[in-house]
């Protein structure tokens, strides 16, 4: 991997987009490497949480690589959008809990990438937005869809139609990010959250992620039925027996993900 680095510690992986000379902008190679990394992490049962960030302190991901896009044909642009969407679905549908550590600009494709994560923690220096209309195009990696689902239709239209950037605290008020912390505390905060989640029952965490993700596309009744199925299936697991036995015995559980 040239542009995507992975570090593993206990049950947590830190995935860093490392292209600082381009403010971590997304080109075809970066997207393919990201997709490959998350496909590989999917097979590592000991990893439960991933922190996704960008190298340096200026940008999470400043956007898609405009230099690479400028001369694309219609067919090439559509294929590039398809690749970005496929990559972000790989992240969104990953069995891992993915935490975006937004350490600077998260614009265009960078904002879309952050929205594909399960949670978003931002540095107080972060700036987010979908400024594609300034270039005569629209978000192509899922931004028109995820932003409206995340912050509501009207607010999504405002951000996309104006192309304006949002500072960290207003992004928190909108629901675009979940927490804002000082820049020097960003990774530590994400790691603490990641380790907290990683101590829980792995099967339960993955079932909860499936239930939330699937349920949003169903009616409430259908979503509750899906939740009940996931709940029931966990009673066939070793972790359920261990978790409830540990509670009754007033001790910490030792989950094994089976």
> 3-state DSSP call for residue 13?
strand
Strands 127-129 and 179-181: unpaired
Phi, psi of 13 (to 5 degrees): -110, 140
Is 112 considered catalytic here? yes
Is 75 considered catalytic here? no
Give the separation between CA 99 and CA 245, rounded to whole angstroms: 30
DSSP one-letter code for 202? H
Q: What is the CA radius of gyration of the chain?
A: 19
Answer yes or no: are the C-beta atoms of 77 and 131 closer than 8 Å.
no
Which residue in 33, 112, 227, 230 is the catalytic one? Answer: 112
Which residue in 90, 132, 227, 230 is the catalytic one? Answer: 132
DSSP one-letter code for 134? G
Locate the DSSP E strands across 19-110.
49-54, 59-61, 97-102, 105-107
- The answer for residues whose C-beta is within 8 angstroms of residue 249's C-beta and 6 or more apart is none
Give the separation between CA 17 and CA 33, rounded to whole angstroms: 9
DSSP element (H, E) containing 14: strand 12-17
List active site positions: 112, 132
């Amino acid at each position: 991997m040239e542009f995507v680095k992975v570090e593993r510690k206990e049950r947590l992986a830190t995935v860093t987009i490392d292209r600082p000379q381009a403010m971590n902008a997304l080109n075809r190679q970066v997207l393919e490497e990201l997709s490959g990394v998350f496909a590989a992490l999917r097979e590592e049962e000991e990893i439960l949480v991933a922190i996704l960030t960008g190298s340096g302190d200026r940008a999470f991901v400043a956007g898609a690589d405009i230099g690479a896009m400028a001369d694309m044909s219609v067919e090439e642009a559509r294929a590039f959008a398809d690749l970005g969407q496929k990559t972000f679905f790989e992240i969104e549908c990953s069995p891992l809990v993915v935490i975006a550590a937004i350490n600077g600009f998260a614009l265009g494709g960078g904002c879309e990438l952050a929205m594909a994560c399960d949670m978003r923690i931002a540095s107080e220096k972060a700036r987010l937005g979908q400024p594609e209309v300034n270039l005569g195009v629209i978000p192509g990696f899922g931004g028109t869809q995820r932003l409206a689902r995340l912050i509501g239709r009207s607010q999504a239209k405002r951000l996309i139609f104006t192309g304006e950037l949002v500072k960290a605290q207003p992004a928190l008020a909108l629901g675009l990010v979940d927490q804002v912390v000082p820049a020097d505390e960003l990774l530590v905060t994400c790691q603490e959250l990641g380790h907290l989640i990683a101590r829980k029952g792995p099967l339960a965490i993955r079932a909860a992620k499936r239930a939330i993700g699937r349920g949003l596309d169903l009616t409430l009744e259908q979503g509750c039925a899906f939740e009940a199925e996931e709940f029931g299936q966990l009673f066939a697991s070793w972790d359920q027996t261990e978790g409830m036995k540990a509670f009754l015995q007033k001790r910490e559980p030792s989950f094994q993900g089976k």
